[in-house]
Structure 1
Amino acid sequence: MARAGRRSALGDIGNLVDGRCYSSSNLKDPDRLPPQDPTKSFIPHDRPITRQYGAILAKTQLVAQNTGKENDGNIRWKAKQSRTSSPEKKETQNRAAYVQIDVSMDEKEEDGSEQSNIMDCATPSIPPPLSEIDEFESCEIEMEEAESPTPRIDESDVGNPLAVVDYIEDIHNHYRATEIMSCLAADYMSKQTDINHRMRAILVDWLIEVHHKFDLRHETLFLAVNLIDRYLSVENVMRKSLQLVGITGMLLACKYEEVYVPALEDFVIISDRAYSREDVLKMERSILNTLQFSLSVPTPFVFMRRFLKAAESETKLEMVAFYLIELCLVEYQMLKFPPSMLSAAAIYAGKSLLKHFPLWNKTLTFHSTYSEEQIQECAKLIEDIHRNAGVGKLTSVYRKYSISKFRCVAKLTDSFLHQL
């Protein structure tokens, strides 16, 4: 091992000028500037190279190379001199800072070099004073800040470790990139020979009632319906086994999302013992193998939570949004929309029903990645579904959201419809 006293010195790390290192204090003193190479333009600086400042430096070097003149000015030193000198001296310096460069066509031919169009007009050989540059850049920064799309919506959760504020944007970017796994062909039911979309609607409506009876989490319902749809889009299922697929999908979703999972016998009893324990276990293996154990898919629930936060929603809007999106679970036609669009459109329709204006803003556009025009079609279909929520036989969602636990938002939105 080499001794510390013989350790070799570091090489050039970007702080060398003409082979030597000069400190910031040296560069500020014009008498201690390094010797200049006439073929190079030395422009020392101790400030960040911003976009505007970099363009000025590049333009200055181009002028110095084409005219054969040396750029021996220290920009910061000259700016300091300009600020501290008398008014008469400032005027003299400003006149000397700009030169008129006229290059005739004869001189171009003699030199054998092509000059740019910039060289045919008055071009500054030395950048404007530093104070003017700083003033311009400060205005540019203020304009960029004014045009910044949205404020941060996670500042209130900075101290909450469960909110994972440092990673929340990456998590939702991943959700948006992988939500295609949750999407299904809008006509997948046409491949089934013994069931149709009306039977699917009856099954989902019944599962919503089971979900409410077992008092399960919101995410469990959305995942269960997703697993059922994905399985039906691949496997041909007979009518007598459709309810078995439903209770098994709910059981798998409970195992994935719930802390306390209902017993398997509870699902056998809820189906009026139409299936045995062995039937449920066999269907569980079939669903898992068919879906290749892919249970981690983004559902409308994960997007709904994020978008409600961006909308700065209160409890009433949250209940209305979940009421509308659960109505969409029953409807087969809503499968053509991705989960994120369903969530965004449900919030838009909910704000419209509650007359919360504006219905859409820059914050929601930024976090949902959807403009107001993009969600109009989906929101209109949701409003049509809502108008018929309490009509017909499939009314589990309407009855669920008509109780005090959910603020009776189903009846509340009905009163808004009567006012229209």
Structure 2
Amino acid sequence: MDRVGGNHRGMVESTSARDCKGVPMEGVKFGADMGNNNRRALKDIRNIVGVPPYPCAVIKKGLQDKSAGNDKNPPSFVGRRPMTRRFAASLTNQSQPCHQISSARRLQPIGSERQKKPLPSALSSRALDASTAIDVDDFKSANDLPLPMVEEMEELDNCELKEVEMEDLQEEPIPDIDSCDSKNPLAVVEYVEDIYSFFRQTEDLGRACPNYIANQFDINEKMRAILIDWLIEVHYKFELMDETLFLTVNIIDRFLARQTVVRKKLQLVGVTAMLLACKYEEVSVPVVEDLILISDRAYTREEVLEMERLIVKTLRFNMSVPTPYVFMRRFLKAADSDKKQELLSFYIVELCLVEYQMLKFCPSLLAAAAVYTAQSALKGFKHWSRASELHTNYSEDQLLECSRMMVEFHQKAGHGKLTAVYRKYSTFKFGCAAKSEPAFFLMDT
């Protein structure tokens, strides 16, 4: 028998094949002659007819044939594997029979608890050596991965659904409320967001200290309320713009926060502040003589001009400040309000001008709360749209404290001595907004 490298597969011709051809086997010895190498030649299992479809595995049978071979009739190696040291060691290390391995690999019923078990020793890295024979059934079961349980499949589906939902959740864009004014050059659509962003940043700088009356020795909160109530009547009589009234009150509060004033000069401060606001806002400015006449000639022209110089010097000529009016216009637009809601909102916020305690709220919060209170009063329930929340940057909870106070002012507006705002908004020109029912249900929240 010609042997070329006994360890190379496909290089040795099967002895049983030669016997079938009738080739004489004289001169070929087994057993004693091969004892010098302490090994036997391996056959090529690929050349044997009837080998299982897995080329790396053969059927385990007895390691010794029923009829032992001799010199003339050597033993056949068909269906057998020679016993080597490594193969014997692997058989010794096997911890369980093949039929136990197959039964352990069976799938458990759906819903039962599974525990991860380590691979049996027959499938360990040592067992998967080239000289180890593995049963075909074991080979199939080792490559069949266990199917996932129903709970695992549901968990996987839920995870995938959550990932899809997280991808779909995107930040909600701010509704566009300026597209309708794209062709209006006075609306400055290209810059309006930047303008109001600047107003929000600087509104605290244009506010008066909320407790400045404590520094005044001759005037009090009631005197301030009387002055503002009277100026609202003057503003209405002169038919001035809304911006003028809000700027007048702002100038008065900022000046009194920096300068002490005696009681008899308080009305002079009021008319002079209105004169400055008219110069800043109005196209047609009332003359000084008209203001002197409306104040029953209590002051002279020289006194008015002197007070004007003192106010602008104290305020450092800073008249461009954001008042509640500028925010009212923007927030009413975001709320998609009609004329009735607009008039009621301005009625509520003008009631706040008279009240000294409302100075603790910033102008943007006052405007947003007035719009929210008027909107809720007209609808009969609390209403604050997503667009309003995004454009005002105030949630409904942030507005409730200020809104409750506004409801109280709305309820008491027609009573007492300071009724200028109530009488103004009780006319048909202002839609009789003062006659509307207050939103009492906001007091209960």
Contact preservation (8 Å) 1:195, 1:239: yes
Aligned residues of 2:327 and 2:363 also touching (Cα < 8 A): yes
| Structure 1 segment 188-267 matched on structure 2, within 5 A | 188-267=212-291
Structure 1 contact 317–350 (Cα < 8 Å) conserved: yes
How far, CA to CA, are the matches of 2:196 and 2:372 in structure 1? Answer: 20
Alpha-carbon deviations, 1:322-349, whole Å to 9, x = none? 0000000000000000000000000111
Q: Deviations over 1:190-236 (max 9, x none)?
A: 10010001000000000000000000000000000000000001101
Give 2:377's aligned amino acid: L
Greater Cα offset, 351-360 or 291-300: 351-360
Inter-partner Cα distance in structure 1 for 2:276 and 2:231? 13
Tell me, in whole angstroms, the C-alpha distance in 1 between the residues paired with 2:180 and 2:169.
26
Is the CA contact 1:182–1:339 (under 8 Å) kept in the aligned structure 2? Answer: no
Matching residue of 1:315: 339
| Contact persistence 1:184–1:336 (CA under 8 A) | no
Instruction: State the one-letter code of the partner of 2:180.
Output: S
- Report the CA distance between 1:185 and its aligned residue: 2.0
Query: What stretches of structure 2 of length at least 5 have no aligned partner?
Result: 1-162
C-alpha displacement at 1:142, in angstroms? 5.5
**Cα distance in structure 2, aligned partners of 1:369 and 1:417:** 25
Alignment partner, residue 433 of structure 2: 409
Q: Report the equivalent of 1:383.
A: 407
What amino acid does structure 2 have at the position aligned with 1:399?
R
Matched residue, 2:388: 364
- Per the TM alignment, residue 411 of structure 1 is displaced from its structure 2 partner at its CA by 1.4
Task: Supply the distance in 1 between the matched residues of 2:230 and 2:409 (Cα, whole angstroms).
Answer: 18
Q: Give the RMSD, CA atoms, in angstroms.
A: 2.1
Instruction: Determine which of 177, 182, 187 is the counterpart of 1:158.
Output: 182
- In 1: Cα distance, 2:246 partner to 2:428 partner: 22
1:130 aligned partner: none
Q: Is the 8 A contact 1:316 1:407 kept in 2?
A: yes
Rounded to whole Å, the distance in 1 between the matches of 2:271 and 2:417 is: 21
How far apart in 1 are the matches of 2:167 and 2:183? 30
Identity fraction in percent: 57
Residue pairs, 1:23-38, within 5 angstroms: none
TM, length-normalised to structure 1: 0.64
Report deviation, 1:182: 2.4
What is the TM-score of this pair, normalised by structure 2? 0.61
Aligned position for 2:421? 397
Contact 2:226–2:418 under 8 Å retained in 1: yes
Tell me which residue corresponds to 2:94: none
| 1-structure distance, mates of 2:312, 2:380 | 43
Match of 1:283 in 2: 307
Partner residue of 1:172 out of 190, 196, 220: 196
Q: Is the 8 A contact 2:407 2:440 kept in 1?
A: no
CA-to-aligned-CA distance 1:211-266 (integer Å, 9 cap, x gap): 00000000000000000000001101000000000000000000000000011100
- Aligned pair partner of 1:292 in 316, 324, 342: 316
Cα pair distance change 1:152/1:138, threshold 3 Å = farther
Deviation for aligned residue 1:141:
7.5
Q: Output the CA distance in 2 between the equivalents of 1:347 and 1:359.
A: 10
CA distance in 2, matches of 1:324, 1:349: 8
Q: What residue number does 1:302 align with? A: 326
Structure 1, unaligned runs of 5 or more:
1-136
Q: Once the 2 structures are TM-superposed, how far is the Cα of residue 186 of structure 1 from its aligned partner? A: 1.7
Whichever residue aligns with residue 256 of structure 1, its letter is Y
Which deviations, in whole Å up to 9, do the C-alpha atoms of 1:56-115 show, x marking residues without a partner? xxxxxxxxxxxxxxxxxxxxxxxxxxxxxxxxxxxxxxxxxxxxxxxxxxxxxxxxxxxx
Cα distance in structure 2, aligned partners of 1:321 and 1:368: 15
Q: CA deviation at 1:354?
A: 0.8
Aligned-pair CA distance for 1:183: 2.0
1:306–1:141 distance in 2 versus 1, CA, 3 Å: farther
- Alignment match, 1:268: 292
Aligned equivalents of 1:169, 1:285: Cα separation in 2? 35
For 2:355 and 2:382, the matched residues in 1 are separated by 28
Contact kept, 8 Å, 2:208 with 2:250, in 1: the verdict is: no
Question: Larger Cα Rg: Structure 1 or Structure 2?
Answer: 2
Moved more, 367-376 or 221-230: 367-376
CA contact (8 A) 2:232 2:421 kept: yes
Moved more, 181-190 or 225-234: 181-190
Q: C-alpha displacement at 1:148, in angstroms?
A: 1.4
